[in-house]
Chain A
């Protein structure tokens, strides 16, 4: 079985994101870049398949500029077998369907049985690439999954939804987008890191892909500042609780 994981390099989740003065981008100076958290869960899910079936080949791919190789190396260090970077002039300006189409061409060449993406990247929070890649491939997709299990004639896919999990069975190629699962992504091992350093990361050109949709950022801003709330610091918690209930009804009008 061949698995391919599409990953994105994003500001680390502990970053305090600052909007640039022009309101069109974020300040990237001093940002630590990481694999998007849901993509890490996707890597973990794929590596678990390899843990149980060692002949599984786990490949990883990303679309981006030169620093994206750090994210791919991180994935190799976690235990992925090989990595590919789709890059070239204009890569950062590529729209979502352009990215999906570029990935589609790579999937045609790499011939995985199953493709995993994070359910959304933690920068734009869109969640469009996975379904768009599936559409480009003519494959079905299942969003927000937390588990994969081999089953007779295919793979069972567990989709987290309201109140539980829907279990779907894919009998051919399928794209899944991965939700946080109970098992935390593994850390790279020291031998893993050494091996990853030596691996070649082949590049594929981004040029010439069909890219029909562009989004324009009108303005980015931090959420409205909060604070200056009524904080009861001293005294009896029980009487504060009673007062709070009245305030929520009469002042905040939410009860």
Chain B
């Protein structure tokens, strides 16, 4: 079994999801970790180079991280090779000549097991195959991007509020805020908690629609589906579209003043109370607990 991992780099290092996939692939067969060199290479240019190599190398399975770039490249490559593509997988196994994956459908309202004939291409969610501590860095083979005329990278426009946090889809801990936080000014307190936890910031649709937070922080249908170890929902009532996006988190904490809020139906720990009383007290408590006292 020949398996390729299409690796991505961030800040000069291999992304965690790429390492996770390399480690998983090693349990399934012979792994080649490939990295398309160059900054902001278009999906078509990356796929062109990978497809050319695939013709001679004939991998049975190609894996990429389910990141904005990873999904673009993996789907394009699958189309180029005329192979099955399975997006945002959370588990996968090989049985003879076929691949079986687990993935969400209907924005997380359904879990599906899907089978496809090999060779196939998958994008896999970060954290689907947690990396063991002290895992060795995989060897990476660089390949140059191919040609793809008609599209050029112009510039990058950073979001003002994004400074230095883990991407939402890759975060182990997420602190997410809803309408119960009353306004954008409350986020200084949310950020203080996220800093202590090393968490990414999330938000309900009501919050991003109101412009309190950028769209990219939205969790749920029309936003991101997330599966962190710990999801803390602050002042979020739990609309079905939001629940769909976070219900597969390992541990869910909810704080809401309405005891009947739907978010409590999925919570492992809930506090019915004032989120503004909770936030500073909890931030202090986490700081102390993390110090080991």
Which residues of A come within 8 Å of B, CB atoms?
Answer: 11, 13-14, 16-17, 19, 26, 37-38, 96-97, 100, 120, 122-128, 130-132, 134-136, 139-144, 146, 156, 158-174, 179-182, 184, 212-223, 226-227, 229-234, 237-238, 240-242, 244-249, 252, 254-255
Q: Is B97 an interface residue (CB 8 A)?
A: no
Q: Report the minimum CB–CB distance from A87 to chain B (whole Å).
A: 23
Q: In the bound complex, do residue B44 and residue A182 qualify as a contact, i.e. CB atoms below 8 Å apart?
A: no
Q: Report the minimum CB–CB distance from B130 to chain A (whole Å).
A: 13
Q: Which residues of B contact A132 (CB under 8 A)?
A: 75, 78-79, 85
Picked from B105, B148, B153, B222, the residue with its CB within 8 Å of the CB of A166 is B153
Q: In the bound complex, do residue A19 and residue B82 qualify as a contact, i.e. CB atoms below 8 Å apart?
A: no
> Residue on A with the closest CB to B168?
A162
List B residues 97-120 near A (Cβ within 8 Å). Answer: 100, 103-117
Q: Which residues of B contact A249 (CB under 8 A)?
A: 289
Stretch at the interface among B30-38, B136-144, B177-185, B271-279: B271-279
Q: In the bound complex, do residue A216 and residue B241 qualify as a contact, i.e. CB atoms below 8 Å apart?
A: no
Majority DSSP secondary structure for residues of B touching A: mixed
Q: In the bound complex, do residue B111 and residue A142 qualify as a contact, i.e. CB atoms below 8 Å apart?
A: no
Q: Which residues of B contact A11 (CB under 8 A)?
A: 106
User: A167-B156, A227-B265 given as contacts; is B151 within 8 A of A140 (CB)?
Assistant: yes
Q: In the bound complex, do residue B85 and residue A96 qualify as a contact, i.e. CB atoms below 8 Å apart?
A: yes
Q: Could you pull out 16 A-B pairs where Cβ atoms are within 8 angstroms? A: A125-B104, A126-B85, A126-B86, A132-B78, A135-B47, A140-B150, A143-B72, A174-B151, A212-B82, A218-B114, A223-B108, A226-B247, A237-B277, A252-B269, A254-B173, A255-B290
Q: Which residues of B contact A246 (CB under 8 A)?
A: 285, 289
List B residues 252-293 near A (Cβ within 8 Å). Answer: 252-253, 259, 264-274, 277-278, 281-282, 284-286, 288-290
Majority DSSP secondary structure for residues of A touching B: mixed
Q: In the bound complex, do residue A231 and residue B272 qualify as a contact, i.e. CB atoms below 8 Å apart?
A: yes
Q: In the bound complex, do residue A237 and residue B281 qualify as a contact, i.e. CB atoms below 8 Å apart?
A: yes
User: A237-B271, A240-B273 given as contacts; is B215 within 8 A of A170 (CB)?
Assistant: no
Q: In the bound complex, do residue B264 and residue A231 qualify as a contact, i.e. CB atoms below 8 Å apart?
A: yes
Q: In the bound complex, do residue B155 and residue A131 qualify as a contact, i.e. CB atoms below 8 Å apart?
A: no
Q: Which residues of A contact B113 (CB under 8 A)?
A: 217-220
Q: Is B195 an interface residue (CB 8 A)?
A: no
User: A122-B106, A128-B75, A166-B156 given as contacts; is B150 within 8 A of A174 (CB)?
Assistant: yes
Picked from A139, A168, A173, A229, the residue with its CB within 8 Å of the CB of B270 is A229
